[in-house]
Structure 1
């Protein structure tokens, strides 16, 4: 009788898991940075509730799902005195691991576990960098920061004003 109970518990556990739930989980840690550093960051969920307030650079763990078959969506606002605020939207997209349920997780993982836990989604990119533009009325005078960023992370209007230095 004990062997039957153990076998049924193991098989129930195997059937109640989804591939994405096992591999990636229902939360994801994202890294937030800004140019200039030490900008205030506020993260709001799709209902408009503030779920995190902090300062860059920071890492925050966010839930990937907002309900059954519904990806989470967050608005991240970066702000700092003397700079224009910038808002970035991060929304979950279907993870490739979700399709692993076809082979490993079965219908339970495909239609129940991963959609209910939000594990079927992932956020990309995992590193979010905001470049804040200085406002004309209040230019910072004491913050002297050197930031190195890739040109593809700099907004097009800022790149248009960039000057190439050849030496």
Structure 2
């Protein structure tokens, strides 16, 4: 009888000091960073402007979904590749659905203390994917014509400047 009572008290105690999202979820999440085409350099920057990770696509990294008590994390992923325009991707944590489970299982302690303190109330998206756009040169002209020296008039040839 004493063992059953002790077990019951232990289970009730765990229920009171834990949050639903803390039990079922995590506060750090794997995020797959990818680009089209693959092979782009990327840097993940936090809200404070600090680089928290860098690498080459595709890659899977682990990021914290929390930025403090009751504060979700937000990151900017900067992509760079030779011949392509630099692109940024905003990665923002949203509320984890299991956090709402505190209404049924975790109670006020889980909802107001445990899950916000551990960061388990937030969840990050699984992927950050961008399609990179090639750099194009703007000439400001309507068209570009390429001609051989032999196609030029004598007057046009006289205006040429030798590069030797």
TM over 0.5: yes
Between the two proteins, the alignment pairs up a number of residues equal to: 136
Whole-Å Cα distance in 1 between the matches of residues 98 and 8 of structure 2?
A: 27
C-alpha deviation, 1:93, in angstroms: 1.1
Aligned counterparts, 1:116-155, within 5 A = 116-124=117-125, 126-137=126-137
CA deviation string 1:101-120 (max 9, x = no partner): 00011111100111111111
CA deviation string 1:45-103 (max 9, x = no partner): 11111110101001111111101110001110111111111111111111211100000
Aligned counterparts, 1:16-165, within 5 A = 16-124=17-125, 126-137=126-137
SS at match of 2:117: helix
Contact in 1 for aligned 2:35/2:130 (Cα 8 Å): yes
Following superposition, which runs of at least 4 residues in structure 1 exceed 4 angstroms of deviation?
1-10
Larger Rg: 2
SS at match of 1:82: coil
> Can you give the 5+ residue segments of structure 1 that lack an aligned partner in the other structure?
138-167
> Can you give the 5+ residue segments of structure 2 that lack an aligned partner in the other structure?
138-164
Scaled by the length of structure 2, the TM-score of the pair is 0.75
Whole-Å Cα distance in 1 between the matches of residues 43 and 28 of structure 2?
A: 18
